[in-house]
Structure 1
């Protein structure tokens, strides 16, 4: 795959079903703290609008998405954005799609006058942690044994990066 073949674009309302299918196909306790979505689940709603998402397309096929939102609704915190969802199709993982989505989310956050972007990742999700580190994120905190997933206690890792400079 060349990066020329990959297109990152804002999500459309019609992207809901393919994003749900992508989520379901990639679901695992490695990256999720909630049960797998139902086939008829809704991706976008009032609390989770399409405008929060960027979508990766490869040869016209949706192969990934990232969701980036304000960290909180507080005016004193409006300079911070947070990544709250990333999924890449299992058949294109390791080919730069995730990194392209993360970098696009950081650029979009900067365009919205954000100075920082943060995220939470499960401690045992080594591939995701390595991706975020390649994109300049650093561990800023650890919540030990925050989740019990499939019978195992898992740390919640807080990561962040500056966007200004």
Structure 2
């Protein structure tokens, strides 16, 4: 077994599509997108996603087993903020440090482009909250009813990690 994490480009859009659909199907309460909408999207849509954001995929050999994305705006007034999205690790790879490795990779990239990173996480996702707190994220608010999944409202904690603590 060989695990690796790398930023993917348009030529690896199929790997991104594969892990994203698994994530949306397996954990719909953790994502704003729904599996059917994204299943119907053409592969070019996923390729464009790798151009618009930094998409990192964890692979076991050639099989995608985890993902995380980073978007940084090109607008002057918000270019200091990175948004982390789409964090997911297959269940059988959890509790082995892969989520930490993915997040460390994303945060390292964010440090080259932004001064802080934001993310949202369901208030009842205790494992993710514990991870994010351990990585230095702080909750700065809660968005009530952030998602409506099959008629169930899900609140999300909004979290931030400052990458330049001396400037806060």
Q: 1:6 to 1:163 in 2, by over 3 A?
A: farther
After superposition, residues 121-160 of structure 1 pair within 5 angstroms as 121-160=121-160
Structure 1 match to 2:77: 76
**Relative to 1, partners in 2 of residues 1:17 and 1:50: Cα closer, same or farther, differing over 3 Å?**
farther
> Once superposed, which parts of structure 1, at least 4 consecutive aligned residues long, lie more than 6 Å away?
none
Alpha-carbon distance in structure 2 between the residues aligned to 1:63 and 1:146: 27
Query: Matched residues in 1 for 2:3 and 2:80: separation?
Result: 29
- Do the aligned partners of residues 24 and 116 (structure 1) sit closer, same or farther apart at CA in structure 2, a change above 3 Å counting? same
CA RMSD of aligned residues (A): 2.2
- The 5-angstrom pairing of residues 13-28 of structure 1 reads 13-27=10-24, 28=27
Whole-Å Cα distance in 1 between the matches of residues 3 and 20 of structure 2?
A: 19
TM-score of the pair, normalised by structure 1: 0.83
Relative to the length of structure 2, the TM-score reads 0.81
Q: Are the counterparts in 2 of residues 30 and 125 from structure 1 also a CA contact under 8 Å?
A: no
- Size of the aligned set, in residue pairs, is 159
How much does 1:138 deviate?
1.2
More helix by share: 2
Given that 1:56 and 1:64 are in contact with CA atoms closer than 8 Å, whether structure 2 keeps it comes out as yes
Cα pair 2:68 2:87 within 8 Å, conserved: yes
Q: Is the 8 A contact 1:10 1:51 kept in 2?
A: no
Instruction: Mark the runs of 5 or more structure 1 residues left unpaired by the alignment.
Output: none
For residue 51 of structure 1, report the CA deviation from its aligned partner. Answer: 5.4
Task: Determine the C-alpha separation between the residues in 2 that align with 1:19 and 1:145.
Answer: 28
Asked if 1:44 corresponds to 2:47, the answer is yes
**CA 1:12–1:73 in 2, change beyond 3 Å: closer, same or farther?**
closer
Structure 2: gaps (5+ residues)? none
Distance in 2 of aligned mates of 1:40 and 1:76:
32
- Using the TM superposition, name which of 17-26 and 95-104 deviates more: 17-26
